[in-house]
Structure 1
Amino acid sequence: MQAMAAARSALVIPRDPTRPTFLDLPFNIRERIYKYAGLFRYCPLDLNVWSQEQRHEAREYMRNPRRVRCMTEEEKHGTGDCDCFLYARPFVPVPVQLLRVARTVSVETSELLYSKNRFHVSFVFPKALRSLKQLNPAALGQIQSLKVTIYDIDQCAVRPWQDIRACSMDWDSLPLDNFELPQRRCKWLPGECEEFFTYLKLPVLKEVAIRLNTTGLDGDIAALRALADDLANHLTDKSRLSCKPSVPQKPFRFMDLPTEIRIKILEQTELVAPGKLVWHSLRGFNCDRVQDHFHRCGTCQIVRDDHEWYYRGRCPIILARRCECWKFPISLFLVNHDIRRLATEVFYSRNHFEVVSVLVENDYCDSGSFLLPYLQENALRSLRKISLHIPQHYFWPDIFGPEDEPKQFLEEVFETLRQKANLERLKLMIIFQLSPTSDLFWLEGAQGQHESEQTQGPDWERFKETAGPLRQMREEGLMRLYVEFRVVYPHSPPLEVYEYSNEAALERYIMGETYNSMKHGKMELRAMAHDRKLRWSFLDTVL
């Protein structure tokens, strides 16, 4: 009887098809209702699976007055707005019942849930990344903010909250008396990290940033960097967006293009270096060290090695992005014979080469003997700018070795250029490294002035012997020759001398009395060298 009375007194809503429903409301009003229902969260939603025991012990742990505060509480929202299950009092769960109301409401709330909230997955839990597999591809495609954290410490299966900042999931050591960090670190090799390959199932992302902490990882940094680069390229590859395989198009051969267009395309590659290319007999080609710091990325290992004191005391963190430093594009020379010929022409005609000579363990190693005689004929014909260093022991044979040895090397270099280079288009710079007391120049200022005649002395006579092949090159078509003096002090690099009259005298001795190197591009080279010196001084001041 009571049940029948309750049924009669219950409110009966007539099913009027003309009555407006919830879905008839505007979308912005429905979105506001979803927000008040708790669908949008301030804190990131944790995709890790927590057991009831772990949740209970975690809440008890968070009552510790010395616990770490919620990082998201300080950055993203107010003090009382934290809604993660570890900090909120009381905790209001996500209204998952909205996903079960009706198909239309479920689709709408599902899209808002995954697009408006931030999600987080932490590798502190064992096999935590498997939670991503539980989401269907449509849900993964709607996520706009996902943070995945991987740690190189041992996994804590029982109390993971003791090793993380609960809300932001950033690992940090907590100030507890009975808490110690694990001493053993996991090995980070691709074959030993099966969970890492779950990332490959993520959809195409707009941006991906992978941050790696290299503390304590001595031998695995290269493998980590390569793995992170491959993953970032895979996740941002827009070619995976197309569901249907694209129709293969007829390939267009690069060699079918006109020669001028092929050369212009190759000029946009790394065949053209950002600065001078210095040939060292022990290291091969490398960019000018005065310039390469301005063309290197901030994470380059070479820059860190050169300025180790600048990075001392900083966190050794690397970013998963490619190094932007110039590297010799050897792959372009290995495609086929035609592209190798074009690449050789572009490489040797668009770059400025500097050939230096070194003294290694009291043995004279002239880089010109390594570089010039072994280059192909088309490479030498393509040379446009080259600087040759004549070392100081050529003028000090009694100290550095017999006189005939360096002279023989110079004759080989000049003879090779005379026979194989295009002298009419070649810009040849001869850099003499001399002692401060040489009679080829004098120094002004506090160091005093040399009183010998400008065109007299043993160094001048030795230069006449050196100038013989150069005069022959001038008769066969050499149009541009530059002479530069550099002073060599003990235990210091060569210094440039700003006394051009003696250099001009030597240039006129070779090229003729009417020759003026300043009108043939020497002023431009001087300005570039001075600009590099100023930028180098600025870099030392900043660093």
Structure 2
Amino acid sequence: MQTSILRYITSDRQHLTALNSSSFLLRLPYDIRKKIYEFAGLYNGELIKLNYRSSPIELYCCEEYEDDGNCDCDFDPSSLPSQLLDVCRTISKEVEHLFYSQNHFNICSVYPGGLFGLLSFTPRALNSLSSLSIHLNICRCFITSTTSKPSYCPYHRREWSEKLCQSAAVHHRSKTIAEWEKLCRHLASYITPRQLKLWIVCNGGNIETAKQIVGSMNHLPVLGACGISINLESCLKLQDLARDAVLKLTGQSSDALDAPFRFLDLPREIQLNVLKYTDLTTPYDIAWCPDTEGEAPSVVHSGSIQWNQRTNMYWRKCCGKCSPVGTMCICSTRYNGYSTTCTCWVMPSSLFLVSRRQREDAIKIFYSQNHFLILPSGKLLQYDQPAEILRFFTRFVARGMKYLRFVTWLLPDMYYPISGTRWDWEWERAVDICAQEGSLQLLSFAIDLSHHARRRRAFGARYHGPIPIAQLEENEWNTGLLLVESMARYKSWKNVYVHLSWPWHNPHNPNDPYSCPEEAQELRERHEEVLEEQVMGPGRIECGKYERRHAWNGYICNYEDPCEQCEDED
């Protein structure tokens, strides 16, 4: 039996015993030494801040704040195994290289020390550097009132008169830009091409300042990855500025080609196949919400929707890959920025603007290849606005109605439709549009009334609504009947699916009429089948009802909160 790892290294044990510890460590294979350094804490994914520590204050963990990508945790340099630097010169160089190449460094221009911590890096350290984020906070001294009241500057933390405030802003801006230009020249001299991943966040200033910041980076060699965020008011020019700079810095920019690729000269069948592999298609449902609607509605894929189960509200979340963990988010969907590592889906609007023929082709691919999810409004039904289902068909899908293939409608939690009301008429109008302008024989329509099921999973035993459960169950059933009665006027639907919340087995209720969740689920599925047969007729074959619901749509099913078909609610 092997009793010592020394037998794997060499058979001369007496010689090994006589060697000092540094020589023994160097005799180990590099991969083993690298693992030893890792287990010693040389690099473990921590964010290393290069600014000096400010006066002692109570520290908070970022987990106590919302998950917005900003971390307030302080890095403790005492956790680094600095003793490794004192073993010998060879190990010191090896450790230094791994330290700078395997960790992510962060620095902020307005924190103690400013940018000096990075300027003090040795050429060898910069040559090994692989991941860096820089926050450039430009002074935003401004007058908060039309009166002569003093202005408060959040960076200088004091109140000044208007004249002093403007003077301080000019001085701070000039000083920051000068330091930034000096830092860019310092980095350009020593960093390794195509190795450094660099993220820049510029807060404050104006468009001219942003152009100066971006222009100073022209001296840098080609980067391995890059992200730039300019957190000013929303502006397409700023976003284009950030995008062009990032692509140029990563060697991806292409000037006007002498002989551009003539895509429109390809056969139309090939053009359509090429478009299928663009961002016109996505494996997730494309979510549409009336609260964000405009002339060009903002749409997202359902994989980027974050649900708050307790409030039944939702918001858009970033992919989390646009910048390193612990640093500020650099996402083109939320800020005036662009990152080569961001994987967030963005509506490919440019593909609809090339020509009339390509616009028609893009519309065909977009509406025929994707599944669409109609999200409920976070507001109560407004009398000056039609229901979201009607707005979806009359505005968002108006030009592509004949190509539409898959729709899921999450009904709002705020109200139930009542027969004979304006809402009832709008629903019938939406059904008529599907029948008259769409292709019912190719359209699969899912009605999702399961918002109460999501609320149950969030609250558990404490779940109780403002309305008695028996009444909620009756209201939901009547809503389902009202919806399918309107759809039953047309018999050529490809598929109609209904998802209900009730009945439900509550193990915490001693008076619950259902003995087990399987019994309640079986009855619920039977109720859903009855509603579906009102439209599709008896003996329909259920095909694909839960396929997309469980495959990749996080709005109903995910690892942290699996739905009822994944595991029992108990």
Q: If the length of structure 1 is used for normalisation, what is the TM-score? A: 0.50
Amino acid at match of 2:525: Y
Task: Report the equivalent of 1:328.
Answer: 347
1:405 matches 2:422: yes
Task: Report the equivalent of 2:409.
Answer: 388
Q: Structure 1 residues 232, 208: closer, same or farther in 2, change over 3 A?
A: farther
Task: Report the equivalent of 1:428.
Answer: 445
- Deviations along 1:30-73, whole A, 9 cap, x unmatched? xxxxxxxxxxxxxxxxxxxxxxxxxxxxxxxxxxxxxx99x999
Task: Report the equivalent of 2:230.
Answer: 223
Identical columns (%): 20
1:418 matches 2:435: yes
Task: Report the equivalent of 1:344.
Answer: 363
Counterpart of 2:500 in 1: which secondary structure?
Answer: strand
Q: 2:195 aligns with which of 207, 232, 248?
A: 207
Q: Structure 1 residues 429, 239: closer, same or farther in 2, change over 3 A?
A: closer
1:537 matches 2:550: no
Task: Report the equivalent of 1:271.
Answer: 280
Task: Report the equivalent of 1:297.
Answer: 319
Amino acid at match of 2:369: R
How many Å apart are 1:504 and its aligned residue? 0.7
Counterpart of 2:367 in 1: which secondary structure?
Answer: helix
Task: Report the equivalent of 1:33.
Answer: none
How many Å apart are 1:342 and its aligned residue? 1.1
Q: 1:258 aligns with which of 264, 267, 277?
A: 267
The size of the alignment, in residue pairs, is 356
8 A Cα contact 1:482 1:507, kept in partner: yes
How many Å apart are 1:81 and its aligned residue? 6.8
How many Å apart are 1:341 and its aligned residue? 1.0
8 A Cα contact 1:204 1:238, kept in partner: no
Q: Structure 1 residues 344, 200: closer, same or farther in 2, change over 3 A?
A: farther
Q: 2:375 aligns with which of 351, 356, 360?
A: 356
1:506 matches 2:548: no
- Deviations along 1:107-134, whole A, 9 cap, x unmatched? xxxxxxxxxxx9xxxxxxxxxxxxxxxx
8 A Cα contact 2:201 2:230, kept in partner: no
Task: Report the equivalent of 1:286.
Answer: 300
1:473 matches 2:490: yes
Amino acid at match of 1:254: F
What does 1:91-240 align with in structure 2 at a 5 Å threshold? 152=109, 164=120, 168=125, 186-187=172-173, 194-195=181-182, 205-212=193-200, 217=203, 222-223=229-230, 233-237=247-251
Amino acid at match of 2:495: R
Q: Structure 1 residues 77, 435: closer, same or farther in 2, change over 3 A?
A: closer
Counterpart of 1:411 in 2: which secondary structure?
Answer: helix
What does 1:74-93 align with in structure 2 at a 5 Å threshold? 79=88
Q: 1:528 aligns with which of 547, 551, 563?
A: 551
How many Å apart are 1:233 and its aligned residue? 3.3
8 A Cα contact 1:208 1:235, kept in partner: no
Q: 2:390 aligns with which of 358, 364, 369?
A: 369
CA distance, structure 1, for counterparts of residue 330 and residue 448 of structure 2? 40
Q: Structure 1 residues 488, 323: closer, same or farther in 2, change over 3 A?
A: farther
- Deviations along 1:334-354, whole A, 9 cap, x unmatched? 222112111111111111111
Task: Report the equivalent of 2:3.
Answer: none
What does 1:296-315 align with in structure 2 at a 5 Å threshold? 296-299=318-321
8 A Cα contact 1:200 1:231, kept in partner: no
- Deviations along 1:278-314, whole A, 9 cap, x unmatched? 211012422225767999532559xx9xxxxxx8xx5
CA distance, structure 1, for counterparts of residue 112 and residue 525 of structure 2? 70
Q: If the length of structure 2 is used for normalisation, what is the TM-score? A: 0.48
8 A Cα contact 2:381 2:387, kept in partner: no
Amino acid at match of 2:251: D
Q: Structure 1 residues 292, 383: closer, same or farther in 2, change over 3 A?
A: farther
8 A Cα contact 1:212 1:317, kept in partner: no
What does 1:444-459 align with in structure 2 at a 5 Å threshold? none
CA distance, structure 2, for counterparts of residue 459 and residue 82 of structure 1? 70
CA distance, structure 2, for counterparts of residue 467 and residue 161 of structure 1? 67
CA distance, structure 2, for counterparts of residue 526 and residue 234 of structure 1? 41
Amino acid at match of 2:289: H
Q: Structure 1 residues 500, 322: closer, same or farther in 2, change over 3 A?
A: same
CA distance, structure 1, for counterparts of residue 480 and residue 501 of structure 2? 15
8 A Cα contact 1:435 1:488, kept in partner: no
Higher mean C-alpha displacement, 187-196 vs 501-510: 187-196
8 A Cα contact 2:484 2:532, kept in partner: no
Q: Structure 1 residues 205, 370: closer, same or farther in 2, change over 3 A?
A: same
CA distance, structure 1, for counterparts of residue 302 and residue 85 of structure 2? 47
Q: Structure 1 residues 78, 230: closer, same or farther in 2, change over 3 A?
A: farther
Counterpart of 1:358 in 2: which secondary structure?
Answer: coil
Amino acid at match of 1:328: M
How many Å apart are 1:534 and its aligned residue? 3.8
- Deviations along 1:129-171, whole A, 9 cap, x unmatched? xxxxxxxxxxxxxxxxxxx999736999xxx899846685899
Amino acid at match of 1:208: L
8 A Cα contact 2:284 2:552, kept in partner: no
Counterpart of 1:379 in 2: which secondary structure?
Answer: helix
What does 1:42-57 align with in structure 2 at a 5 Å threshold? none
CA distance, structure 2, for counterparts of residue 467 and residue 203 of structure 1? 65
- Deviations along 1:179-234, whole A, 9 cap, x unmatched? xxx979954987995557758899993333225588xx567883389788655533
RMSD: 5.7
Counterpart of 1:363 in 2: which secondary structure?
Answer: coil
Counterpart of 2:557 in 1: which secondary structure?
Answer: helix
How many Å apart are 1:383 and its aligned residue? 0.5
CA distance, structure 1, for counterparts of residue 272 and residue 121 of structure 2? 56
Task: Report the equivalent of 1:515.
Answer: 540
8 A Cα contact 2:533 2:540, kept in partner: yes
Counterpart of 1:374 in 2: which secondary structure?
Answer: helix
Counterpart of 2:497 in 1: which secondary structure?
Answer: strand
